[in-house]
A and B are shown apart, each in its own frame.
Chain A
Amino acid sequence: MPHLPSFPHVSKSEFGGACGNLAARYAGQGGLQTDWTSVDVVQHDGDSYLKIEKDLHLEDHDTTGGRLDVEVDEDELREDDQEALIPPPFLKATIEFDIMLSPIYQVPVLYFSIRDPRCRHPPTMATLYHNIIHPQLKAQAENVGVIGGISITDHPATNSPVFFIHPCQTAAVLEASVGAKDITPIEYLMLFIGAIGSYVGLIVPLRIVQDNVRA
């Protein structure tokens, strides 16, 4: 497995390779989990980016427990429960995560937005803090930049407003979480999702991580 010579930064080809790798892994193992509903590599202007979708669970934030810690267990419970209540697809809101390589910072950037057939969740800060950010992480997320570490900007490919996590600290965060260890592009991508995505409920399902252990 090739390692990353410019860590904490990542090149276009390393990033593209990691996206393809994760999508392939989802194609193989995705059926064994229920958190992510699709993973695709999207081509735009000669670059590739990763699009991950999952259902938006609005009721999650009414509970006070640490949702992030129990995520995996919940999934395993649901996997076994053939009669789990699934909302009709036409009313279901989904959340889309786009992981794109920033040509400026040379690290991945997480963009996300809610797709809802009833348009209940426009890209506003109210939506962000009511429906996406876990209440326990709210203070932490709000504590950076002008309006917090997460704000709204135009998506680099669609030019439509979406949420994004400010990338200017990403390199430092990645560096701090890996230390001196050599990592591969796919490990880098999963590390990024773990370090940045968990704020907004994007967590690599165990089934997909495990593939890594065996490989």
Chain B
Amino acid sequence: MSGSRDVASRLRQTVWNGSVPLEIRLHKGDCRTYDDSDPYLIQFPRLSYLGLLLHKLHGFFASSLIYPDVSPADAWLSYEGVPLKWHYPLGLLYDLYSGVEPAYPADGSGKKDRDVEEEQKNMPWKLTVHFSDYPVEHLVKLDSEGNHLHDLYMHSVKEADYLRTGTGRTVMFLSKEDSNQLWDSVKQHSFTLYNPINQKLLNPQGVNLRHLPVKLYLPHAASDTPDKESTPGSLRVVQSLVTPSLSSRQPQTIGTALNHIIPSLFQSRRSALLAQAVLHGAVLPLSASVEDLLRATAYLDGWLHIAIVMMA
């Protein structure tokens, strides 16, 4: 038992430390010197939110801007023309849009060397920052004070809590200090601040977990019901009630959950045939228990945000 707890805590650490190198360039339409500004380079945590970079980006590019008095809140990021949602964690955006092959479980298939090479070629992830033409149709507009991002985050935390407990009381009755500490832990990416609050949320007193917060993100190309109005990078977000176990003996696995939620893409509960589920850059084994995954690898809002990627 202590062995599996070690694995879980190591996994929690690995996920917490996961990061993606970013190279952010100013869009030429906002740049005084066309495309001649220096890029902003940062190694950014996968679990964190790009919206927290607003002021740093504005400060860094201020001297290159055609209109230097634009507000930091006018900033938005894109990758190959796709506006990136501020309230999606970086890891989810990367898994959805970078086009980098996810890592497979080490099964000696010999794919590993090529993957590493492929991944290096795509690093750093090259994003564009814009300070004009905010895509209001696609992105929630942030404010300089970070209130919108905080609000979106808390809403998501509350939803996760409601699913886990069936009442949402754990979040509602968090003290003001705990609630502030949770948001501070996100802003500072501090595990020391985050973990005590997360433990309270994951282990509500006197209740078993009722449902597990799982959200699936299907790029429209991968969706079985293509949307006529779909724009580049648009997604279908699917959520459904996922219970921790199917019966007293049978825990809910990624395979059983996917088979239940999107049977058209996951006909088998044991082997991926058409699509695979990607979390933190890795293909999820279909046999993994959803509750174990949730406890060790959830994003900062308590959700498992899983990208569904079609198999080549």
Contact = CB atoms under 8 A, between A and B. Distances in A.
A147 B148 contact: yes
B181 to A, nearest CB: 15
Contact of A168 (B85, B150, B162, B238): B162
Interface string B223-259: 0010000000011111111000000000000000000
A145 B138 contact: no
Interface stretch (B56-64, B152-160, B193-201, B267-275): B152-160
B136 A122 contact: yes
Interface string A42-64: 00010000000000000000000
A146 B151 contact: yes
Contacts of A123: 136, 140-141
B95 to A, nearest CB: 17
Interface stretch (A89-97, A154-162, A176-184): A154-162
A145 B139 contact: no
B155 A166 contact: yes
Contacts of A45: 225, 236, 238
B162 A124 contact: no
Interface in A22-78: 45
Contacts of B155: 145, 151, 153, 166
Contacts of A160: 137-138
Contact of A124 (B141, B151, B236, B237): B141
B171 to A, nearest CB: 9
A103 interface: yes
Given A103-B240, A146-B154, A122 B85 contact: no
A215 interface: no
B140 A152 contact: yes
B140 A161 contact: yes
Contacts of A103: 239-241
Contacts of A156: 237
A166 B140 CA distance: 16
A147 B153 CA distance: 12
B150 A104 contact: no
Contacts of B136: 122-124, 161
A125 B145 CA distance: 13
Contact of B237 (A104, A146, A147, A159): A159
A146 B239 contact: no
B147 interface: yes
Contacts of A146: 147, 150-151, 154
Contacts of A124: 136, 141
A contact residues, range: 20 to 34
Nearest to A155: B237
Given A147-B147, A153-B140, A168-B168, A159 B234 contact: yes
A122 B141 contact: yes
Contacts of B237: 154, 156, 159
A104 B147 contact: no
A104 B140 contact: no
Given A45-B238, A146-B151, A104 B138 contact: no
A146 B236 CA distance: 27
B8 interface: no
Contacts of B236: 45, 159
B93 interface: no
A50 to B, nearest CB: 20
Nearest to B238: A45
A120 to B, nearest CB: 12
A124 B147 CA distance: 13
Nearest to B156: A153
Interface in A97-147: 103-105, 122-125, 145-147
A203 B99 CA distance: 47
Given A104-B159, A166-B155, A168-B158, A159 B235 contact: yes
B85 A154 contact: yes
B154 A145 contact: yes
A129 to B, nearest CB: 13
Given A151-B155, A166-B155, A168-B168, A104 B163 contact: yes
Interface string B150-189: 1110110011001100001000100000000000000000
A163 to B, nearest CB: 10
Contacts of B137: 160-161
Contacts of A161: 136-141
Leading 7 A-B pairs by shortest Cβ distance: A146-B151, A122-B136, A161-B140, A147-B151, A146-B150, A147-B147, A151-B151
5 contacts: A104-B162, A160-B137, A161-B139, A161-B140, A168-B172
Given A125-B143, A160-B137, A161-B140, 5 more contacts: A45-B238, A104-B162, A123-B140, A124-B136, A159-B236
